[in-house]
Amino acid sequence: MSFSSLFALVLTFNVFLVSGTSIKLQNGGYEDIVIAINQGLGENVKIIDNIQNMIKEASQYLFSATKNRVYIRSVKILIPITWPNNNYAKAKTETYDKADVIIASPHLKFGDDPYTLQYGRCGEAGKYIHMTPDFLLNDNLISIYGPRGRVFVHEWAHLRWGVFDEYNYEKPFYIAGNKNIEATRCSADIIGTHIKQPQGLPCNRDPQTGLYEDGCVFVPEQNQAAKASIMYLQALPSVTEFCDKNHNTEAPTLQNRICNSRSTWDVIMNSTDIKATPPQADSNIPVPTFTLLQSSDRVVTLVLDVSGSMASVVYFLLYGNNNHGSIKCN
């Protein structure tokens, strides 16, 4: 076949790469976590800075919460193509659709609440964590959710280990075995007061339900000794652990319902991550590293041999049975 018989057909188009999570766990360190910023958000480098600060804080909190087992070693932050190129490295297989964490506009149902898309059974990993730019930028929200690094660990437990929340907005109270009204929480060691909003008055028992009347809430005290649980209220300064032996099996939590009353730590301890990672003797862990990547159009070049019989194949691929020689793209 002579060189002149080669026909080069060059097609330029966006390629959508489908792959699973790229996260690896090596010697206790999570590597290649992908955090992607939605292209609909305007450029704001403070988002990048606060992602990095959040992850650094989360790594230490995660290491402590898992009893010196796992931490975050490296993260890739995917910058949208709509932002100016500030010498970011080019993304290879990383895409927004396959990111582990996405930074995007608020969901109508959740507002600025961070959440994890989680539809599997107990112990099954979630799909992704969703955080809003306001959550990362508005420091006033820290008083509501707690430090961002702690919030990330709460969501990471959903995403990676398939555990569930230990609060219940729909059933904030229940009647315990001792016939007392208790707030839905884990652990039951967390102390606080019951007040009726917005007046701030003491709560009264509803004679029909046996529970507190509508409008009553449980307000945990800021200063207390309880260390669990991260899946209940990570914002409390004393909370540094997942519920374990102090697990509240009576509370009507999603964790109890979906995980058959198993504690969050029991589920986490039986995960592949923790089973394969013994506690580390050295409590000093490295600071996470960050790689800033930017999405880009992909160019794919196809070289087709059209000599001899191949010429008819290429003609058919281009024109099919259309004698007018036009190509229709839907």
Residue 157: Cβ-neighbour burial (10 angstroms; 0-12, 13-18, 19+)? buried
Global pTM reads 0.84
For residue 15, the model assigns a pLDDT of: 30
Q: What is the DSSP string of 71-111?
A: EE-EEEEEE-TTS--SSPEEPSS--GGG-SEEE-SPBTTTB
Catalytic residue set: 155
Show pLDDT as tens, one digit a residue, over the chain (330 residues).
433 333 333 333 233 333 358 899 999 999 999 999 999 999 999 999 999 999 999 999 999 999 999 999 999 999 999 999 999 999 999 999 999 999 999 988 899 999 999 999 999 999 999 999 999 999 999 999 999 999 999 999 999 999 999 999 999 999 999 999 999 999 999 999 999 988 889 999 999 999 999 999 999 999 999 999 999 999 999 999 999 999 999 999 999 999 999 999 999 999 999 999 999 999 999 999 999 999 876 555 555 555 555 554 444 444 455 444 433 334
Tokens at residue 245, please?
């032996």
For residue 295, the model assigns a pLDDT of: 81
Cα–Cα distances in angstroms (integers) from residue 302 to residues 10, 146, 233, 299, in the given order? 6, 52, 55, 10
For residue 304, the model assigns a pLDDT of: 53
